[in-house]
Chains A and B, each alone.
Chain A
Amino acid sequence: MIASLRTLDRRRVASYSLIALAALLVGFGSAAQLRSQLVTPYNRVERNRALVRSVQDLERTNGVERGRIAALRREIAGLEGDAARRSDQTAELAREIANLRAHAGITPLKGPGVTVEIGNGRPSPDGQIGYLATYQDVQDVVNLLFTGGAEGIAVNGRRITPLSAYRGRAGTVEIDDGPPLMAPFRIAAVGNQGQMEQLLSDVGNLGDLHHRQREFGVQLSFGRSPELRLPAYDGSLQAANAQPL
Chain B
Amino acid sequence: MPGLFKQRRAEPARQAPRGVTLIIVGTLSAAVAFLGVVQIRSQAEVVRSLEGQDNTSLAFLIDDLHRANDALGDQAGELTARRDQLRLSGTAGADPVLQDEGQRLRVLEGLVPVHGPGLVMTIDAPLTRLDLEDAVNNLRASGAEQMAINDHRVITGTVFRQDGSAVAIDGDAARGPWTIVVIGNQDRLAIGADLMVQSLRSDRRVRQAAYRMEPDLVIRATVSERPFVYGSP
Contacts and interface: CB of A to CB of B under 8 A. Distances in A.
Interface of A: 2, 5, 9, 12, 15-16, 19-24, 26-28, 30-31, 34-35, 38, 41-42, 44-45, 47-49, 51-52, 54-55, 58-59, 61-62, 65-66, 68-69, 72-73, 75-76, 79-80, 82-84, 86-87, 89-90, 93-94, 96-98, 100-104, 107-113, 136, 139-140, 143, 146-147, 150-152, 160-167, 169, 172, 174, 176-180, 190-193, 235-245
Contact of A28 (B33, B83, B104): B33
Contact of A190 (B22, B156, B231): B231
B203 interface: no
Contacts of B52: 48, 52
A162 B22 contact: no
- Size bin of chain B's contact surface: 35 or more
Interface stretch (B56-64, B172-180, B194-202): B56-64
A109 B233 contact: yes
B114 A162 contact: no
A30 B37 contact: yes
A238 B81 CA distance: 14
B80 interface: yes
Given A15-B22, A58-B69, A244 B55 contact: no
B26 A163 contact: no
B231 A109 contact: yes
A178 B156 CA distance: 17
Interface string B102-141: 1111111110111111100000000000100110010011
Interface of B: 6, 9-10, 12, 18, 21-22, 25-34, 36-37, 40-41, 44, 47-48, 51-55, 57-62, 64-66, 68-69, 71-76, 78-80, 82-83, 86-87, 90-91, 94-95, 97-99, 101-110, 112-118, 130, 133-134, 137, 140-141, 145-146, 155-161, 183-185, 218, 220, 225-226, 228-233
Contacts of B91: 82-83, 86-87, 90
A102 B157 contact: no
Given A21-B29, A86-B91, A163-B145, 14 more contacts: A16-B21, A19-B22, A23-B28, A72-B76, A90-B95, A97-B105, A102-B233, A103-B109, A104-B109, A143-B159, A147-B161, A151-B229, A236-B72, A242-B115
Contacts of A97: 98, 101-102, 105
Given A97-B98, A166-B137, A240 B37 contact: no
A44 B226 contact: no
Contacts of B107: 239, 242-244
B102 to A, nearest CB: 5
Contacts of A72: 76, 79-80, 83
Contact of B6 (A2, A62, A82, A89): A2
Q: Which one of B21, B68, B97, B98 has the greatest number of beta carbons of chain A within 10 Å?
A: B68
B208 to A, nearest CB: 25
A62 B69 contact: yes
A44 B49 CA distance: 12
B145 A240 contact: yes
Nearest to B156: A164
A24 B33 CA distance: 6
14 contacts: A5-B9, A23-B28, A24-B32, A38-B44, A48-B52, A54-B62, A58-B62, A104-B109, A163-B155, A178-B68, A192-B230, A242-B145, A243-B107, A243-B114
